Amino acid sequence: MKDVVLLQDQKQSQVMSFDYELFVIGAGPGGLAAAERAAGYGVRVAIVEQEQVGGTCVVHGCIPEKLMTYAASFSQVFESADEYGWGKVSREFDWCQFMRARDRDINHLSQVHVQKLQKTGVELLKGHARFLDAHMVEIEGHRYTADKILIAVGAKAIKSNVPGMEYAITVRQMLELDQQPKHLAIIGSHHIAVKLAGIMNDLISKVTLVVSEDRILPGCDEDLRIAVQEDMTRLGVRIFCNTKVEKIERVENCLNLTLSGNSQPVTVETVVSIADRIPDLDGLDLEKAGVEVKQGAIAVDDYSRTTQATIFAVGDCTGRPPFTPVAIAAARAFADTEFGHQPRVVDYECVPYLVASNPEAATVGLTEAQAHEKLGEAVRCYRKKFQSLFDMRAESPEKTLLKLVVDSNSDRVLGAHMVGDCAAEILQMIALAMKAGVTKTNFDNTIGIHPSIGEEFFCMR
């Protein structure tokens, strides 16, 4: 018994010899969630951030993009105002006024996170951190030690090596422009590119979307891809599919894009390059800490542990789904496991996500193609395309699309996909049901709220 007590005392002494029990690199959603949860267990925590607290999501990504989505949504409402008795409404948009208000909101949210850190006793440090060994980091010439270190540095945008790509800007730079571009080209096909194209089109900019694949949103369900692209085209976005940018040239105050298969260049004010994002590992010196990187991302196990037993990683710097809720879930599971004596892992199946385009789209689970690849002929799909009550009154041609992918052997719902108003709110509730093993029969036997869009999921035969 004395030997056990002695070992516990030695372990506690070793922990106390460090400056902190947990040191977090990166104050984005994942880092903040881990720091606050760990501090709640009475752990001595420090977190370092070289930019504004909140990370990409709060400062440069999800939140400012969502605010722009809200601003853009007024365009379609104003378009329909006459049919609802309000008469014609001005569709002039003041970019500068919106940006000032948006910046106030972002600064407020960032400060809220700073206050939460202060309230929970987490020490906030500013600067760039780099590893000296498995327990020590250096920030602006100062050294700090910790028993455990969590890496939550997120990802960064990259550009292709196309000639003239230096004239293109990133999404982050786009969201910081002082003036709204009248005509912009967006290079990319994934949800961020599609989202930005829809936003800027609704804000009365002329938008050209250059897509290297046969259609936008590769990896999504084919019916969803078709529905979103058709509606975006109808609303005025010019989309070039199976097209690559061969070069970008500056001509006076404009940019000329030479596109494959097009004899005439496309002339725009601004080019936004939205290629894949990669883990932002520059300058961390991970090799000094014995942390392995595989395919450009930090390698982690189910418990977010790296190849170094005392160092962990969560969020976009790992190979997990690059969504804010995923980073937060992994961060909290890490803190519960390491400091709360509640070992647990995160299930990354059925993670829903949103394409905040116009029209809005959301998806969870398997696509029809993925389901067929997995189950063959046992897959049964249910589709419904209809005009919502709002659009019917507004005389809009826009159609809502609902789709369920079902395993006919078990009756389990394997995937759900939607294009239309409230897609995100509806699909995340279906994600919960799918986690619980919902069947198509459960849908058929459920009574919905009328009139609503969501009730139509219960009427698909």
Residue 206 lies in domain: 165-275
All residues at 6 or more sequence positions from 247 whose CB lies less than 8 Å from its CB, including other chains: 162, 163, 164, 257, 258
Q: Where among 223, 251, 275 does a domain terminate?
A: 275
Q: How many domains is the chain built from?
A: 3
Confidence at residue 6, expressed as pLDDT on a 0 to 100 scale: 43
Q: Are residues 289 and 203 in the same domain?
A: no
- Claim to verify: residue 144 and residue 17 sit in the same structural domain: yes
On whether both 250 and 308 belong to a single domain, the answer is no
Residue 9: the pLDDT is 47
Closest C-alpha among 181, 187, 184, 183 to residue 165: 187
pLDDT band at 2 (very low <50, low <70, confident <90, very high): very low
Same domain, 256 and 299: no
CATH number of domain containing 177: 3.50.50.60
Q: Among the options 108, 142, 341, 450, which is catalytic?
A: 450
Q: Compute CA distances 272 → 67, 138, 184, 185, whole Å.
A: 19, 35, 7, 6
Residues 6+ apart with CB under 8 A from 344: 333, 336, 337
Beta-sheet strand order (sheet of 361-365): 353-355, 361-365, 413-419, 400-407, 379-386
Amino acid 80 reads S
Strand-pairing partners, residue 383, are 403
Query: With contact defined as beta carbons under 8 Å apart, do 281 and 257 qualify?
Result: no
Residue 347 lies in a domain: no
- Interval 357-373: pLDDT, tens: 778 999 999 999 999 99
Percent of the chain with pLDDT over 90: 81
DSSP annotation of 424 reads: H
What does the pLDDT look like over 152-161, one tens digit per residue? 999 998 888 8
Percent of the chain with pLDDT over 70: 96
Is 403 in the same domain as 330?
no
Does a cis peptide bond (omega within 30 degrees of 0) precede residue 352?
no
Closest-CA residue to 47 (of 154, 121, 112, 141): 121
- 444: CATH: 3.30.390.30
Average per-residue pLDDT for the chain: 92
Asked if residue 263 and residue 133 are part of one domain, the reply reads no
Instruction: For residue 127, tell me if it sits in a domain.
Output: yes
pLDDT of amino acid 394: 65
Whether residue 104 is found in the same domain as residue 9: yes
152-208 tens-digit pLDDT: 999 998 888 899 999 999 999 998 999 999 999 999 999 999 999 999 999 999 999
Catalytic-residue membership of 135: no
Residues 34 and 169 grouped into a single domain: no
